[in-house]
Amino acid sequence: MSEDPSTETAEETRGAYSWIGKNVTKPDALEKALGATEYVGDMVVPGMLHGKILWADTPHAVIKRIDTEEAARVPGVHAVLTAADVPGSNRFGLAVLDQCALAEERVRSVGDAVALVAAEDEEAAEEAVAKIRVHKEHLRPILTYADALDPDAPKIHDGGNVFQHTTVRKGDLDKGIRESAAIVENAYHTHRMDHVPMEPEAGLAYVDPSGVLNILVGTQYPYRDRRQIAPALGLPMNKVRVIQAPIGGGFGRKDDITAEIHVGLLALKTRRPVRLVYTREESLVANTKRHPMAMNFRTGAGADGRLTFLDGDIYGDTGAGVSLGAYVIKKAGIHATGPYDVPNIRVDTYTLYTNNLTSGAMRGFGVMQAAVAHESQMDQLAHKLGMSPLEFRLKNCLKPGLASSTGQLMNEGCGIEATLRRIKDYMSARDLRFKRPEAAS
C-alpha cells in the first residue's frame, strides 16, 4: 500500500479493507476454546431467582380458570404469574402481533406459555409449576393442511386460517403446456425441523437502579427484541435494554422472541434478578421451527430439453403464529423454479395457521423446501427425456442476461453454470455417473 493514503489506488483501498481471501481468526474463539465464555445459562448474579414456565401441553383449548394459590405457597416461590399479571399488550410476533407472551383465553399450540414462576432455586420453581391447575375446555385442533384450508374449520385467529396467499405469474402457462414433450407431476412434503442450537434458550433480567429493565439474552436481533418486549410489558422503549450475550447457535430461531418477555416480566414483578434457562425438551417444544410444506408441482420440457412451464401450489404450515412465515412461504414460491430459466409460470403459495408448533426463520428461509421439489422434478424430467440430469440442468440453468421467475435480470453473481461445469469436470475425471431416480420409471 502507498505511504500516503491520498495516493492510494482504488484497488489498494479494496485490498486493504476486504476480508475476502484472507484467513481471519474469530476474536472470541480462544475464550470459547478455553471454556471461559459465559453464556446466559452460565451466569450467576447476587440475589438471582430462577424462572420456570408452565407450557400449555395441549394444541387447542379455551382456558376457563387458572388456580395458582397452591403453587404460590411452595416455600421459596416469589411469583406465580399469568396473562392477568402482564402490564402491557402481552402480544409479540415478527410479521404480526399474533402470539401471546402468556396465553389469555385461548391455547393455540402445545408450545404456548400459560404461567410463569420465579423461585429461590430451580427445584422450588419446578414444584410450583407442577402445582398450577389450568382448567381447560379442549377444542378440535387444526393439524393438517386440509383442515386449515377448510372454510368451516374453527378459526385459530380471527382473520381465518389462511393468513396469506401469494402468486408468481410469468409468460403464458397454456402455451408452455402445449409446447411440452414431457410433463411430470408430483406431490412433495417436507417435514417440520428444529434448529437444535447446542445452547438451549436462556435469559437473565434485572431492573437497574435507574428503573431500566435489562435483559441478557443470546439473541440474533437485540433491537427488534426490544421493539417487541417494551409494548408487551407496557414499558416505554427507553426503559428496556437488551444486552446481546454470547449465542450458542441460532440458525434463525433466535430471530424471534425466546425467553426475553418471560424473564423480563419475572424481574419486573419480583424486583430481583431472574434467570430462566430452557431444558432441551422445552427448546424442542417451544419457539419456532422450520416450516413443513406441501408442494404440488407440474413441470414440463420440450423435445429440445428446454423447460417449458411450472404449474405449482405450495402450502406452508406456520403453526399457531406467523412469526416470519409469511416471508418464508412467499419466498418458497419465488424460488419454486430454482436456479433455472422457466418461461411460463403459475405458482401460488398459502401461509396457513394450524395448532402445530409455530414455524419461523431457519437457514435457507423457504428455499430449501422448494429445492426438494424442483430438483426432484428436474431429475424426473431428464429421465423422461432420456437426458443426463447434469446436461439437462446445464441446458436450463440461469445465465447472465436471463431473468428469474420474478423478472430479476441475472448479471454478476450468477454462478450456477460455472458450478455445474466444475461438477461435470470432477465427475468425468473420476468416471462418476448420476444414478437415475427409480420413481420415474
Partner 1 sequence: MKQRYVLRVNGRGMEAAAEAHESLLDVLRENLRLTGSKKGCNEAECGSCTVLLDGRPVVSCLVLVPDAADRDVVTIEALATDGVPHPIQRQMVEQGGVQCGYCTPGMIMSAYALLLDNPDPTDDEIRFAISGNICRCTGYGKIVKAVRAAAVEMKGQAGNGGAAS
What is the binding site for partner 1 (CB under 8 A)? Answer: 25-26, 28-39, 41-42, 44, 195-200, 246-251, 279-280
What does 47-84 look like in DSSP terms, one character per residue? Answer: T-EEEEEEE--SSSEEEEEEE-HHHHTSTTEEEEE-GG
Least Å from the CB of residue 24 to partner 1: 9
Task: Tell me whether residue 27 or residue 401 sits nearer to partner 1 (CB atom).
Answer: 27
Task: Tell me whether residue 198 or residue 432 sits nearer to partner 1 (CB atom).
Answer: 198
Least Å from the CB of residue 374 to partner 1: 24
Least Å from the CB of residue 218 to partner 1: 9
Least Å from the CB of residue 341 to partner 1: 31
Taking a C-beta distance cutoff of 8 angstroms, is the pair 402, 337 a contact?
A: no
The answer to whether the Cα torsion of 18, 24, 26, 31 is positive or negative is negative
Dihedral of CA atoms 68, 69, 71, 77 in degrees, nearest 10, equals 110
Task: Tell me whether residue 25 or residue 441 sits nearer to partner 1 (CB atom).
Answer: 25
Least Å from the CB of residue 249 to partner 1: 4
Q: CA 222 → CA 87, 227, 255, 333, 384, distances in Å?
A: 21, 9, 9, 30, 51
Cα gap 291→191, rounded to integer Å = 7
* Residue showing cell 399479571: 85
Least Å from the CB of residue 193 to partner 1: 12
Coil, strand, or helix at residue 191? coil
Least Å from the CB of residue 122 to partner 1: 9
What does 126-168 look like in DSSP terms, one character per residue? Answer: HHHHHH-EEEEEE-----SHHHHH-TTSPPSSTT-SEEEEEEE
Task: Tell me whether residue 42 or residue 417 sits nearer to partner 1 (CB atom).
Answer: 42
Cα gap 203→218, rounded to integer Å = 7
Taking a C-beta distance cutoff of 8 angstroms, is the pair 340, 396 a contact?
A: yes
Cα gap 222→226, rounded to integer Å = 6
Task: Tell me whether residue 60 or residue 289 sits nearer to partner 1 (CB atom).
Answer: 289
Task: Tell me whether residue 279 or residue 406 sits nearer to partner 1 (CB atom).
Answer: 279
Q: CA 29 → CA 24, 35, 246, distances in Å?
A: 11, 10, 11
Task: Tell me whether residue 36 or residue 429 sits nearer to partner 1 (CB atom).
Answer: 36
